[in-house]
Structure 1
Amino acid sequence: MVVPSVLNHGASQTLPKSHIEAVLSVRPLKVTEPRQVRHVSVKNTNSKNISGCYNIILYYQKLKEEEHGLFLVGWIVESLARVLLDYPLLAGRIQKKVENGDNMEFEIVSNDSGVRFYEARFPMNLSEFLGLSGKECFEGELVFWKEIDEHNPQFSPLFYIQVTKFECGGYSIGISCSLILEDVLVIEKFLKNWAEINNHMLLQNEKKTPIFCHPLLKNEDPPPIDVISRTPCQNGTHTMLFKITAQGINFNMELWRELAMFCIDEAEEKLQQKLGSDFCLFVKESCKIIKVEGCSSKSVYSKEVLGLKNNIIEASWNDFGVCGLAFQEGSKPIHVSHSIGSVRDGHVIAVQCPRENVSVVVIVSLHNEK
């Protein structure tokens, strides 16, 4: 295949588009019993602010065995159906319950609607893509996201996976997850369990053909355009992570707001970028409750927040252990990319963390309006 030339450098260069070859919904291997439910409370904002997603892309070099390369997606789909047994909300949908002006109530229900799965090809070698200047601007071709329909949210998947094969035999696995669905800590566990299941299945079924063997199932007709149209990747979003190391804190929404504002001030100073007066705060109180609230930024803090100042330190995406994930034994990713995508304004995501010496992880995304 002739690869279209890459023009110029940096943001002005142009790339070919990924070609979607197959689309399917992957459901948990068994019906989820009992059904899980997550309550989503949206306050002082509109339904558009339940938008946004957490993206992660893992890049892998060419598979060692040609046969495994042929059946790559088939095994990934089978192992995905198995791991979803432990994460049924990923295969669920959101339902609107109550609406009162800018205050709304939603539920995410594990109704086994399925994770939306895409198989794609990209007409370029992996090393060439990774060597691009400003490649982050083009990663939207490797991770699929379609914004939640604010009028009919129940028809919108909340979790997408795209496996993209490069010309050289390398491939990427792109994950896109709604901010109201899960957080980076849960996705880290999900990916580790998924990789373990996939590796085990490959070892147990060496030389066998997976049930979902796409080379046998594909046809020449492209998927319908309404299935493959995606929300464009918005450039200009910069993200910083913070972790709070103090223990025994009694969190409430007022404290969450102040901690978010403090982290925004730190991010603005570090990134030399102003957020503005308003932002959207996501707080995951538990696995059953998430609160979304429109807030106004201010730089006046209580004694409690000032007392935590020395315990709020900058973190890194590398603190989340997905860099060593191998979906085939001995094949770890050569690069991992994280981002918060499709955010219109400033977003702050706060998650209580069960790890040793860390009580909270705060993610600040500043959107640069041009």
Structure 2
Amino acid sequence: MAAAAPVLVHVESMQTAVPARDAGSGRSLPIAVSGPPLAAAELQRRFRAVLYYRGAGAGGELEAAARERAAWVKESLSAALADHPEMAGRLRRGGGDGRLWEVKLTDTGVRLVQASVEATMAAFLEATGADRERMEAALALWTDVDVHEPDICAPFFVQLTRFQDGGYAVGASCSLLLADPLSLVGFLKSWARKLAKLQAQDKLVADPVIQYTRYIRSAGAAAKRVKSVPLDTATATAAADNTTRTVLFRAAGGGGTPDHRSLAAACVAKASERLGARAPPRFTVVARDDGSEGLKVQTCAADGDRKPCPAPRAAHWRDEPGLGLEDLALEGRKPVHVSYRVVPCADEGLVVVMPAGGAELLISATVPNYM
């Protein structure tokens, strides 16, 4: 008996959405690295969010709706980037030893991927657990940042993928050196507001830029594909998705110059205990202090000296104010499902410390899923 044909993911367009106006080009946000220099693997640490939406229409209407949606997404991303210039930046080395880095605000833009998958959204969502997590990597594609020429690589991807039943997914993959999960969620919410505003204005006055974009995105143009890959192949590169798990915490931030290593160690220990896994011997802390534009990346030993720190409290992506994306409406509809994923280096401990307003911190602790 012949083997079943593989499910294909078609990448139909790879574009760039740039800020609608000059958004602070020339500034730099420093990244201080304590510990081993950042190697190629460390540059791929990222946060991924995928939102699933029901579409409308049937047959040829689906194609027309998909082309129109793609045009609106690109236009609204450009508008949102003007208010969030850091999201359009590029990573750049600041020194020869691999310990000095920066985010250069170059207005270079966000990589926008348009794709389709040979499956219905309903069938895709039937998969559960690790199977769906691996498949979701194809809904938020990522191209590795080159350690030698990082400034030519996009650290932020937004992907619009349509399913055969008219549903679609919005996937975002963003380097943790560019933005932490809380910052990325804030940007996505800002983008959704821009999209709703532009669409409301278009009901009154036709936007010539949008009309032109619709024209060049004809049915013939949409049929041209950049590449098509089997879903299993697309997800094979996401091995870390099945070897690590992330647990979310809240804690008091404290005053003065914080030492996040003790708090991070406490979160790693609690996450490992909850998952019934061994705590990793080393872990990396990525932290941005409240009120500071700089980022710190520290490598810590699990058995190092620790100072007293606030006790971390369990939290959840969907329950955190300002973090959950379950209410992010597009085209008047809320998502039917949202997934979140911190993608570390394989089998490493990774802690991301995020200022959550006031004296509160939000902490994600990602630990290897081995017993």
Residue 76 to residue 211, structure 1, CA distance change in 2 (3 Å): farther
Amino acid at match of 1:297: A
Deviations for 1:109-136, whole angstroms, at most 9, x for unmatched residues? 1101111110000111101110113311
Match of residue 34, structure 2, among 35, 43, 50: 43
**2:335 matched residue in structure 1:** 333
1:240 aligns with 2:240: no
Amino acid at match of 2:266: F
Matches within 5 A, 1:145-164: 145-164=142-161
1:90 aligns with 2:87: yes
Matches within 5 A, 1:84-233: 84-100=81-97, 104-134=99-129, 135-206=132-203, 209-213=210-214, 215-216=217-218, 218=221, 221-223=224-226, 232-233=237-238
Match of residue 57, structure 1, among 14, 35, 50: 50
Match of residue 321, structure 1, among 317, 320, 324: 324
Amino acid at match of 2:121: L
Superposed displacement of residue 35, structure 1 = 3.3
Residue 172 to residue 212, structure 1, CA distance change in 2 (3 Å): same
Specify the SS of the correspondent of 1:144: coil
Counterpart Cα distance in 2 of 1:149 and 1:24: 19
Q: Is contact 2:90–2:152 with CA below 8 Å preserved after alignment?
A: yes
**1:289 matched residue in structure 2:** 294
Specify the SS of the correspondent of 2:199: helix
**1:17 matched residue in structure 2:** 8
Counterpart Cα distance in 2 of 1:107 and 1:299: 28
Specify the SS of the correspondent of 1:281: strand
Counterpart Cα distance in 2 of 1:116 and 1:161: 6
Counterpart Cα distance in 2 of 1:162 and 1:140: 11
**1:249 matched residue in structure 2:** 255
Residue 126 to residue 332, structure 1, CA distance change in 2 (3 Å): same
Superposed displacement of residue 368, structure 1 = 3.6
Counterpart Cα distance in 2 of 1:114 and 1:186: 17
Counterpart Cα distance in 1 of 2:340 and 2:325: 10
Superposed displacement of residue 326, structure 1 = 1.1
Counterpart Cα distance in 2 of 1:211 and 1:369: 53
Q: Is contact 1:145–1:230 with CA below 8 Å preserved after alignment?
A: no
Residue 146 to residue 34, structure 1, CA distance change in 2 (3 Å): closer
**2:231 matched residue in structure 1:** none
Q: Is contact 1:36–1:88 with CA below 8 Å preserved after alignment?
A: no
Specify the SS of the correspondent of 1:71: helix
Q: Is contact 1:52–1:147 with CA below 8 Å preserved after alignment?
A: no
Counterpart Cα distance in 1 of 2:92 and 2:306: 36
Q: Is contact 2:89–2:108 with CA below 8 Å preserved after alignment?
A: yes
Counterpart Cα distance in 2 of 1:238 and 1:115: 27
Question: TM-score if structure 2 supplies the norm length?
Answer: 0.85
Same amino acid, percent of matched pairs: 25
Deviations for 1:285-329, whole angstroms, at most 9, x for unmatched residues? 255200111110128643x32xx22xx201111122311111212
For structure 2, list consecutive stretches of 5 or more residues without a partner in the other structure: 229-233
Superposed displacement of residue 51, structure 1 = 2.9
Superposed displacement of residue 145, structure 1 = 1.3
Q: Is contact 2:19–2:79 with CA below 8 Å preserved after alignment?
A: yes
Specify the SS of the correspondent of 1:58: strand
Question: TM-score if structure 1 supplies the norm length?
Answer: 0.85
Q: Is contact 2:23–2:83 with CA below 8 Å preserved after alignment?
A: no
Counterpart Cα distance in 2 of 1:231 and 1:146: 14
Counterpart Cα distance in 2 of 1:173 and 1:293: 32
**1:350 matched residue in structure 2:** 353
Superposed displacement of residue 354, structure 1 = 0.9
For structure 1, list consecutive stretches of 5 or more residues without a partner in the other structure: 7-14
Residue 259 to residue 247, structure 1, CA distance change in 2 (3 Å): closer
Residue 85 to residue 287, structure 1, CA distance change in 2 (3 Å): farther
Runs of 4+ more than 6 Å apart: none
Superposed displacement of residue 163, structure 1 = 0.4
Superposed displacement of residue 224, structure 1 = 7.0
